[in-house]
Amino acid sequence: MLYKGSCHCGNVAFEVEGAIDGALSCNCSMCQRRGSLLWFVPRARLALATPEENAATYMFNKHVIKHRFCPACGIHPYGEGVDPAGNAMAAVNLRCIDGIDLDAIPVQHYDGRSH
């Protein structure tokens, strides 16, 4: 299925293809503060509908994940990194996708604070 999403102001918009079969809620210092529910997909399935330079990047800790956010409204629609096999991945914030029922999506809790 094709989903559309964006930050609050629309400055960072995207489309993503896939089946939402679950979400990850992480308690690391970043995720806990922003409250995102993450859906991981191959990066090639995430297509930006706005110029890439519209999204700012924040990196912390080991500097391996690019946390992408809108510099205008501050919302974090997605992140970019690689999986353990070296494949480019996107972590899409499900709270930024239009028209989905978040309550119907199973959420796995991840202890990112300890890793």
The helix/strand/coil state of 67 is strand
| Amino acid 112: pLDDT | 85
| Amino acid 12: pLDDT | 98
Per-residue pLDDT of the chain (115 residues; tens, 9 = 90+): 999 999 999 999 999 999 999 999 999 888 889 999 999 999 999 999 999 999 999 998 888 899 999 999 999 999 999 999 999 999 999 999 999 999 999 999 998 888 7
DSSP 72: T
Contact 37, 92 (CB under 8 A): no
| Amino acid 44: pLDDT | 98
Q: What is the pTM of this model?
A: 0.93
CATH topology of domain 2-110: 2.170.150
Domain parsing of the chain, residue ranges: 2-110
Q: How far is CA 109 from CA 14, 26, 36, 51, 113, in A?
A: 25, 6, 12, 32, 11
| Amino acid 29: pLDDT | 87
| Amino acid 115: pLDDT | 76
Closest by Cα among 98, 101, 106, 72 to 16:
98
